[in-house]
Amino acid sequence: MDWNRYRFRSVWELPEPPARVYAVLERAEEYPEWWPQVRAVSQVDDVTGTARFRSFLPYELEIGARMTRRDPGARVLEIRMSGDLEGFARWTVRARGTGTSALYEQEVVVRKPLMRLLALPGRPFFLVNHALMMRGGRRGLRLRLANGLDEP
């Protein structure tokens, strides 16, 4: 087993329509406004940017991101990541009942030296750290949508 390889899958059930949810997720540069663990997002051009993340544990991750799929019709957003994490992340937004199901998938290899060094003993903590980050994002998105702050 490669202790530096991670595969994540989270589903956020939201009461708002898929078009509203997709519109917020599409604007990655605004994530720091509603997702506490996303510390900064900088757009380089139409398809590339950088981001910094920090959750509960005292370390930051910095990545470069390149949009590989932006499909409003299918409501899919996907990026390739480089830097402290190498791999991809994808949002797939679908109607579910009267609301929305937002599926987040991520497959990465950790490149940050300290995390690689602590790969085996740190893995349970890294997994919890990620879960806390996703919980913070889900809460932040719900509040943003509930308070009508999702307009560009």
**Is 123 among the domain residues?**
yes
**Is 77 among the domain residues?**
yes
Look at residue 94 in the predicted model and tell me its pLDDT. Answer: 98
Look at residue 1 in the predicted model and tell me its pLDDT. Answer: 83
Question: How many other C-beta atoms are found inside a 10 Å radius of the C-beta of residue 29?
Answer: 12
- Residue 103's domain is classified under what CATH number? 3.30.530.20
d(CA 5, CA 44): 27
Which range marks the domain in which residue 105 is found?
5-146
Look at residue 2 in the predicted model and tell me its pLDDT. Answer: 96
**Is 151 among the domain residues?**
no
| pLDDT tens per residue, range 56-107 | 999 999 999 999 999 999 999 999 999 999 999 999 999 999 999 999 999 9
**Is 56 among the domain residues?**
yes
What integer is the mean pLDDT of 41-66? 96
**Is 135 among the domain residues?**
yes
Look at residue 152 in the predicted model and tell me its pLDDT. Answer: 67
Count of domains forming the chain: 1
**Is 38 among the domain residues?**
yes
**Is 87 among the domain residues?**
yes
What the block records as the tokens of 143 is 């509040």
Look at residue 39 in the predicted model and tell me its pLDDT. Answer: 98
What integer is the mean pLDDT of 5-32? 97
Nearest alpha-carbon partner for 57 in 140, 141, 122: 122
**Is 152 among the domain residues?**
no
Confidence label for 150 from pLDDT (cuts 50, 70 and 90): confident
